[in-house]
Amino acid sequence: MTELDLDPATTALVLIDLQVRLVTRPFEPRSGAEVVDAGRQLADAFRTAAAPVVLVRAVRPVPMDFSSPDDPQNQVVPELGTPDVLITKHTWGAFHQTPLDSALRERGIDTIVLGGVATNMGVESTARAADEHDYRLVFVEDAMSGLAADEHAFAVARMFPLLGTVTTTAAVVARLSGS
């Protein structure tokens, strides 16, 4: 972990797939509820710092038919509050055929703080695309979880350090609050 350099004017929080139908699934090394709690702490800190909160949800017909964005199971969990930007994606990553890049660029964002589920699926896919779009990346390890602990650990230990900085919820909150 390196020193966090987070400027609220150019940094956005992006949380992946923290929606009703997904957070109750079994995740490792932490539960969906724990990830939601960390996401809530981050969202509160970003709002206090006047930095944007972007919530991303997956609407896909496979493996179950949750193909309607209006389906209550597709809604982002209420604990995260109202986002500045809500992105609906149809693939693993949040950039492909969505307005995420333009929404971030319009706000002058060059750094993304990333969390959500599943670590090595939606989060990692979004991170790889963000890197290709030249965003700086900060990965909040305890604000994400995977379908298996070893998959989460591999992404955090091997992939994310190649793309950005790995840190914790407490470190991001402290940095945004100036502590």
Write down the pLDDT at residue 14.
98
Write down the pLDDT at residue 5.
87
C-alpha–C-alpha distance, residues 78 and 21, integer Å = 12
pTM of the model: 0.93
Q: What angle do CA 10, 85, 124 make, to 5 degrees?
A: 75
Is there a domain that residue 162 lies in?
Answer: yes
pLDDT profile of the chain (179 residues), mean per 10: 80 97 95 98 98 93 58 87 95 95 98 97 98 98 97 97 97 89
- Counted domains in the chain: 1
Is there a domain that residue 2 lies in?
Answer: no
Is there a domain that residue 71 lies in?
Answer: yes
Write down the pLDDT at residue 4.
83
- Residue 21 Cα distances to 6, 39, 72, 73, angstroms: 32, 16, 8, 5
Is there a domain that residue 138 lies in?
Answer: yes
- Residue 118 Cα distances to 105, 122, 174, angstroms: 25, 6, 25
Q: What share of the chain is helix, strand, coil (3-state, %, to 5)?
A: 40, 25, 35
Is there a domain that residue 17 lies in?
Answer: yes
Is there a domain that residue 147 lies in?
Answer: yes
Write down the pLDDT at residue 59.
86
Q: What is the CATH number of the domain that holds 168?
A: 3.40.50.850
Write down the pLDDT at residue 67.
59
Write down the pLDDT at residue 1.
36
Write down the pLDDT at residue 23.
95
Write down the pLDDT at residue 73.
78
C-alpha–C-alpha distance, residues 102 and 112, integer Å = 14
Cβ–Cβ < 8 Å for 121, 147: yes
Is there a domain that residue 74 lies in?
Answer: yes
The DSSP code for 121 is I
Neighbours of 133 (CB within 10 A): 13
Is there a domain that residue 88 lies in?
Answer: yes
**Domain housing 136:** 11-176
C-alpha–C-alpha distance, residues 151 and 12, integer Å = 26
